[in-house]
Amino acid sequence: MERLLVLARHGQSEWNLKNLFTGWRDPGLTDRGVEEARMAGRGLKRAGYGFDVAFTSELVRAQRTCTLILEEMGLSGIEIVRAQALNERDYGDLSGLNKDEARAKWGAEQVRIWRRSYDVPPPGGESLKDTAARVLPYYIETILPQVMTGKRVLVAAHGNSLRALVMVLDHLDKATIASLEIATGVPLVYHLNADTRVASKAVLAHDDDAGR
């Protein structure tokens, strides 16, 4: 039984490009973001992977990434499940602000704490701990059972919702997760053991010339 779980952060969004805090705001992908998603799909297909079901958030940038990956793999007809539980971390009062402007207003150290600490939320928003509190139950109750029955599962979501999941899958502590970056459009490929623990992990790096 394959027990395949692939995690993919959405491609570059319009607000990533502008260096803005995004959170639950809903900008689309840039041209580069579209190509990152397509490259992810080509890479997964070239490596011989396939999917039976896909999960994504209720935000357009993740949904579009999911669609583009599946299109490149010739899998547009599979079931796609959308869930708010997989949404990006809510940045609260920081949402829509330029990150440099936020540093000028509150100080670089305070903004770093809001962005990278495990349990300190920005004003009106969520910490990574808060994000994990909705992502992990959804993973355990809805996504993991699909993987364990042998379905090949794609999760196209966001930097922080995926960081919360990777923290558990990779057994990372709070200090390590603070420095973890998940690149846009680069799939993380997991195979799970029968006891749900990770058997193997691979990072499927982009090949810009693939499929051209």
Q: Is the overall model pTM greater than 0.85, yes or no?
A: yes
pLDDT value for 95:
94
Residue 104 CA, distance from chain mean position: 28
Q: In the chain, what are the domain boundaries?
A: 4-91+128-203
**Residues 117-140: pLDDT tens digits?**
899 999 999 999 999 999 999 999
Backbone dihedral angles phi then psi of residue 189, each to the nearest 5 degrees = -105, 115
**Residues 61-107: pLDDT tens digits?**
999 999 999 999 999 999 999 999 999 999 999 999 999 999 999 99
* DSSP SS3 for 131: helix
Pick the CATH number of 4-91+128-203 from 3.40.50.1240, 3.90.850.10, 3.30.70.120, 3.40.50.280: 3.40.50.1240
Asked whether the predicted pLDDT for residue 54 surpasses 70, the reply is yes
Q: Kindly list the catalytic residues.
A: 10, 88
pLDDT value for 33:
97
CA distances from 123 to 110, 120, 163, 194 (A): 11, 9, 21, 41
